[in-house]
Copies of this chain bind each other. A is one copy, B any other.
Amino acid sequence: MSANALPYRPHNHSACVHQALADARTVCASRQARLTPIRERVLELIWQSHKPLGAYDLLAVLAEDGHNAAPPTVYRALDFLQQNGLVHRIASLNAFTGCTHAGENHTCLFLICRSCRNVLELTAPSVTQALNKVSAAEAFTPEETTIEVAGLCPACKEGGDND
């Protein structure tokens, strides 16, 4: 990992992962969903990375773990985590990232730096409301919203990484 690997805001990442896992346990307990070892491990790996990980990235790390997993194992864990609002799939990257609003029902958007690959998840009521109005004007009933903005994060902009 290069210096670029820093998330937008420096923080104690280990604690951050730990908190995410604790939240996940709470959410799953309240929903009577079983956060099994594989599911928890996948969630942990995703949070440790702090950048979106592909399913096959996860498979590779699990292999290092000594866990000889096949694709369905990872995809099933990811499905579970998505359904319980613990991870998001970034469609434009075919990759997954930890949800920073676990347990909350939310429409979120992603700012994706094309240089350092960091992703910032935000909830933006102004955007959501504008989208709802547009949908309503077309008599369209929205169910799942994908908002992904690719560009340059502040750090990479300053660093001159704007190739």
Report which A residues bind B (CB closer than 8 A): 8, 91-92, 109, 111, 113-114, 120, 122, 124, 126-127, 129-131, 133-135, 138-154, 157
Residues of the B chain whose Cβ atoms lie less than 8 Å from the Cβ of A120: 138, 140
Given contacts A91-B91, A127-B131, A130-B124, contact A146 B144 (CB under 8 A): no
Interface contact B143-A146, CB-CB below 8 Å: no
Give every chain B residue within 8 A of A152 (Cβ-Cβ).
Answer: 140-141, 143
Minimum CB–CB distance from A143 to chain B (whole Å) comes to: 4
**10 sample A-B contacts, Cβ–Cβ < 8 Å, listed by A number:** A92-B146, A120-B138, A120-B140, A122-B138, A124-B131, A126-B130, A129-B130, A135-B149, A143-B151, A145-B149
Complex Cα gap A162–B107 (Å) = 21
| B residues less than 8 Å from A148 (CB atoms) | 91, 145-146
Report the separation of the CA atoms of residues A131 and B146 in the bound assembly, to the nearest whole angstrom: 13
Contact between chains at A109 and B91 (CB < 8 Å): no
Residue of B nearest to A139 (CB): B154
Residues of B within 8 A of A109 (CB): 131, 134
Q: How far does the Cβ of A115 sit from chain B's closest Cβ, in whole Å?
A: 10
Q: Apart from A127-B127, A140-B153, A146-B150, list 16 A-B contacts with CB within 8 A.
A: A111-B142, A114-B143, A126-B133, A126-B134, A127-B134, A129-B130, A135-B151, A139-B154, A141-B152, A142-B151, A144-B150, A144-B151, A145-B148, A145-B149, A145-B150, A146-B148
